[in-house]
Structure 1
């Protein structure tokens, strides 16, 4: 397969060394090609042509602001392949014990502030816009996959109805503004530490093809409430206040935090179901190891929200 992939690239790369990069649950194929001091990352989007187009659209958007994203070296619209700058191996989730967590979060949060201030809502960009139907589809992964995993088999239909009724009521209590650029997967595993750069540019951002228009707090809780790896939350309040003060917010800090925590709860809810789904479909039970961290993140936001109906339901059936 590797040699076939090299044949898809420009002739100048044919004598490069090629190495497959693990892709986790992604259907895309990733390769690192290198020769001497030159190194690039190649992404094969043949599994999803739409993701290829989305990647290029978002790359054009992000290239117009002062943040670190990989330079696009080459693209092939027929073969659905992109060759990009290699940001190296210092992925945030791999270096938390070697680097200052607060510094890493600072670089990432400053990057989010720039994104929020510099990218204005533009309906001509071919990005989806979040809405209540997408919201319902996402949280549906919990009853679909997690209920059976958690041995919830009695009253399953009535519990499904109760689950959605509580969530939709909670959603409608807040006046969401889904007109902010959202990376969607601004997690530790999609951020690369670039020590040779300055300030916020030390945070390299990858895997942005699923971007959409949504709430401004989305990427912040994706960062601070990472479900795959548990790290201290002692800086969460600081960075919430910092982001609020350094981005274009037209709402009160209280409302900002309510939206942050409700959407974080919905995201952690979806992920509880997603981990079970991936473990079963990919026959990779290690995805279930993320459930404990996901529950901790969920409990933390539920405690702050003080939404009695949600808390009661989750305490009884989920946590």
Structure 2
């Protein structure tokens, strides 16, 4: 990561020397963010590990903007130092709006569904990696490595069954998938149409099944979406896109299992390796998604495999992870 002197040099060269800096809430990644203030002007400084992350963010952001969506404008960049200066979308986070105005839930999630249906009409960049059955399985490799008391042999069977079931169910063309698409990564803007949703954290975009980002939004690790809203938006998406509702619900549940298991592994890794235990409190909710998705009739065999591979996150198991995070 860039050091203080490198950041100051970058800001000076970008016309932001002497700007006030205040840290913004971070996420589970290695990135961090500062809000810059200079009089009435505002900007956001993103600090990322040197490498390709800045270039990916800029590239996908440009694709989204060209398609008519709201990605932050790029004010300055230094790929070698991992520094990016962005348009500041403000503080109207969708998650915060839902906390203070729960009556807006139905309308906001309807807007998400309609945005995704529109996004998925655009052909994604051809060179983005494809998250097919094999790719979904590979993303589960970290789970038995970090999740306590996992049975590695059974975990391999889980991954293979997910891959096989996905290939059997999937018929839709792959679409642009933002991957980490949920209420904590959406800023509500005073803009018309789909541009109302200010998009953040899209640098890991891939080509994937249309259900993936819908699962990400409706089965949010950080907040509960009402079952009525989830069911309505699942049906709404299938209707908007002309997809068989029964088959779509099965692949939605399958991807829900895959995502939830991966998130369980990530949260365990954050505690054990990165000493970030605050995500452990989300584990019971995420495990609830595992159980709910596995109740789908098409996933009975997968349910037995998951039961053999992974224990539920009981208070004792979570305390074990918390203890690992507290070790010095």
> Aligning the two structures, in what range does the TM-score lie when normalised by the shorter sequence?
0.7 to 0.9
- The match for 1:95 is 97
What residue is the counterpart of 1:296 in the other structure? 288
CA distance in 2, matches of 1:182, 1:169: 21
| 2:227 aligned with 1:233 | yes
CA contact (8 A) 1:225 1:297 kept: yes
Unaligned runs of 5+ in 1: none
For 2:119 and 2:253, the matched residues in 1 are separated by 21
Is 1:49 the counterpart of 2:43? The answer is no
Q: Gapped runs of 5+ residues in structure 2?
A: 313-328
Selected match of 1:215 from 204, 209, 215? 209
Following superposition, the deviation at residue 14 of structure 1 comes to: 0.3
Aligned to 2:318: none
More deviation, 201-210/132-141: 132-141
Partner of 2:99: helix, strand, or coil?
Answer: coil
Residues 120 and 157 of structure 1, relative CA distance in 2, 3 Å threshold: closer
SS in 2 for 1:234: helix
Q: Determine the C-alpha separation between the residues in 2 that align with 1:199 and 1:270.
A: 33
User: Which residue is equivalent to 1:159?
Assistant: 154
**Which of 116, 121, 133 is residue 120 of structure 2 equivalent to?**
116
TM-superposition CA deviations, 1:10-29 (whole Å, max 9, x none): 25210211122232322223
- The answer to whether the aligner puts 1:189 opposite 2:181 as a matched pair is no
Counterpart of 1:262?
Answer: 254
Of residues 62, 65, 78 in structure 2, which corresponds to 1:63? 65
C-alpha deviation, 1:306, in angstroms: 4.0
C-alpha distance in 1, partners of 2:123/2:87? 27
Contact kept in structure 2, 1:224 and 1:233, CA below 8 Å: no
8 Å CA contact 1:182–1:216 kept in 2: the answer is yes
- 1:22 pairs with one of 15, 20, 25: 25
* Counterpart among 170, 176, 179 of residue 174 in structure 2: 179
Listed one character per residue, the Cα deviations across residues 269-292 of structure 1 (whole Å, up to 9, x for unaligned) are 111111111111121222211111
1:184 CA displacement: 0.6
TM-score (ref. length: structure 2): 0.85
- Within the candidate set 76, 80, 83, 1:81 is matched to 83
Aligned to 2:269: 277
TM-score, normalised on structure 1?
Answer: 0.87
Quote how far apart the aligned CAs of 1:48 are.
Answer: 3.8
Relative to structure 1, the CA distance from residue 157 to residue 116 in structure 2 (aligned partners, 3 Å threshold; closer, same or farther) is closer
Q: Is the 8 A contact 1:130 1:178 kept in 2?
A: no
Query: Please, what is the CA RMSD of the aligned residues?
Result: 2.3
**Any idea what the Cα deviations from partners look like across 1:121-151, whole Å, max 9, x if unmatched?**
442xx421223332222122332222xx2x3
Q: Residues of 1 paired with 2:128 and 2:146: CA distance? A: 28
Q: Alpha carbons of 1:22 and 1:98: their partners in 2 closer, same or farther (altered >3 Å)? A: closer
Q: CA deviation at 1:261?
A: 1.3
* Higher deviation after alignment, 304-313 or 25-34: 304-313
Deviation at residue 304 of structure 1 after TM alignment: 2.6
Structure-2 separation of matches of 1:201 and 1:116 = 15
Answer whether contact 1:22 1:30 (CA < 8 A) is retained. yes
Q: What residue is the counterpart of 2:315 in the other structure? A: none
Superposed, 1:127-166 pairs within 5 Å as 127-146=128-147, 149=148, 151-152=149-150, 156-166=151-161
Contact 1:178 1:213 in 2 (8 A): no
Q: Is the 8 A contact 1:104 1:203 kept in 2?
A: no
Residue in 2 aligned with 1:318? Answer: 311
